[in-house]
Amino acid sequence: MDFRQEFIEFALAQNVLRFGEFKTKAGRLSPYFFNAGLFNDGAALDRLSQFYAKAILNSGIDVDVLYGPAYKGIPLVSVTALSLACAGRNLPFSFNRKEAKDHGEGGIIIGTPLAGRVLIVDDVISAGTSVRESVEIIRAAGATPCGVVIALDRMERGTGALSAVQEVEQDYGLPVVAVATLDDLVAFLKQRPDFAEYEAAVARYREKYGVSRPS
């Protein structure tokens, strides 16, 4: 089975991915809900990191340093670095403080110095605020942001014609790698007759709010 489909099964088993009727921040009624914060024990985080590592290795992006934006990106970048090392790709990593430290080593970066090509590791992209702040921090250090990796791309329009992911790609010229996308979720549902009612609901929602990825 493709690792993306495995990831969706895993998210369902962890209750991170749920089906029903959920109101989004934009006021839309979504037939599914994804909360990466529910990957909240050691075993779940370990397996999640393996999916992140596979997505990064599969992307072919040339990376020198991994960076996790506070706060959600901190555990994600740490365990992803560990899984990549176990897969034979040992990379240094760092993350930021929300407030600069004025004593000791000082500054806002903990871990390896930001240098070379830096990959941002986060859970999702909603408004793109976290990515913007990360890009500014990376560039201020003299390094180059080279991409973003997230758990799920909802492939859903924001206030305009583009999704939050597409806006990040357009505004910063960065590739966004998702462990799984809405396309992968639809493909999963099509293979599961027991989820037939949700397949129809997700298809309708996608038709109304979805965006297409270039082939």
**Chain mean pLDDT for the chain:** 92
3-state secondary structure the chain: CCHHHHHHHHHHHCCCEEEEEEECCCCCEEEEEECHHHCCCHHHHHHHHHHHHHHHHHHCCCCCEEEECCCCHHHHHHHHHHHHHHCCCCCCEEEEEEEEECCCCCEEEEECCCCCEEEEECCCCCCCHHHHHHHHHHHHCCCEEEEEEEEEECCEECCCCCEHHHHHHHHHCCCEEEEEEHHHHHHHHHCCHHHHHHHHHHHHHHHHHECCCCC
pLDDT at 215 over 50: no
Per-residue pLDDT tens for 181-211?
999 999 999 999 998 889 999 999 999 999 9
Residue 183: inside a domain, yes or no? yes
pLDDT higher than 70, residue 105: no
| Higher local confidence (pLDDT), 102 or 175 | 175
Is 215 a domain residue?
no
Sheet of strand 93-101: strand arrangement: 107-111, 93-101, 65-68, 117-121, 144-153, 176-181
Catalytic pick among 23, 101, 190, 208: 101
Q: Which residues contact 145 (CB under 8 A, 6 or more apart)?
A: 118, 119, 120, 134, 135, 138, 139, 172, 174
Residue 108: CATH number of its domain: 3.40.50.2020
Tell me the whole-structure pTM to 2 decimals. 0.92
In a domain, 214, yes or no: no
Whether 102 shows a pLDDT value over 60: the answer reads no
Structure confidence by residue, pLDDT tens digits, 39-94 = 999 999 999 999 999 999 999 999 999 999 999 999 999 999 999 999 999 999 99
Give catalytic status of residue 72 as yes or no. no
The share of the chain scoring above pLDDT 90, in percent, equals: 82
Q: Which domain holds residue 126?
A: 3-209
Number of independent structural domains in the chain: 1
Give a yes or no: residue 77 inside a domain. Answer: yes
Q: Which pLDDT does position 59 carry in this prediction?
A: 96
Catalytic, 190? Answer: no
Task: Considering the candidates 54, 72, 98, 103, report the single residue annotated as catalytic.
Answer: 103
